[in-house]
Amino acid sequence: MSRRILIVAVAALIAGGLVGLVTLQTKLFGSARSVSTGQALVGGPFALTGPGGKTVRDSDFRGKYMLIYFGFAQCPDICPAALQVISTALDQIGDKVKKVQPIFITLDPERDAPDVMAAYVSAFHPKMIGLTGTPETIAKAAKAYRVFYRKVPDPGSANAYTVDHSSIVYLMGPDGKFVTHFTHGTDPDVMAKRLKEVIKSRG
């Protein structure tokens, strides 16, 4: 339980930091400027490994919303809970689901090979794709999205480690830029409502 609390606390800190930065920029530059500057805070180009070992880039999804979550396939509870929320929310937005690409990026590339990721995400949603990479490409993507993670010893798991990580779902727009995020524990109904609103207002 304590690890879950730590993770949620870290996620809240990161989310709070984002809000803080946007607030600061609002003070410095005014609200119009802060919107464009704030969007640049989270996200960026990535080139990772998808199903069948194929290279998958963020730019492959231009024109669609990316719903991005970072975690790892052996995660006992945090990731399954978050991915289930995404899946349930996507099932509630009707036709708009065509505009959304759910993406699960591993923070444990050493254990999560492309086939492991493909099998894992298929348990959550048919549209979801799992991405892996090298420790370096994963670290770069995680840094761009301000994802905290670290390996910690866990004698009970395969290879004797687990991965603590922040748990935030990122919504990126059809232009690849940050739109909004959802903190851990967001209700699927709330996520679905927000997705519908954003897609309706922005197309």
Residues that bind Ni ion (CB under 5 A): 71, 75, 78-79
Placement of tokens 């730019």 in the chain? 59
- How far the first Cα of the chain sits from its last, in Å, is 41
Cα 175 from Cα 196, distance rounded (Å): 17
CA 60 to chain centre: 16
| Shortest CB 95 distance to Ni ion, Å | 30
Nearer to Ni ion, 58 or 112 (CB): 112
Q: Indicate the residue whose CB is closest to Ni ion.
A: 75
Nearer to Ni ion, 49 or 167 (CB): 167
| Shortest CB 63 distance to Ni ion, Å | 29
The three-state secondary structure class of 25 is: helix
Cα 31 from Cα 192, distance rounded (Å): 27
Cα 56 from Cα 59, distance rounded (Å): 8
| Shortest CB 64 distance to Ni ion, Å | 24
Nearer to Ni ion, 75 or 93 (CB): 75
| Shortest CB 181 distance to Ni ion, Å | 16
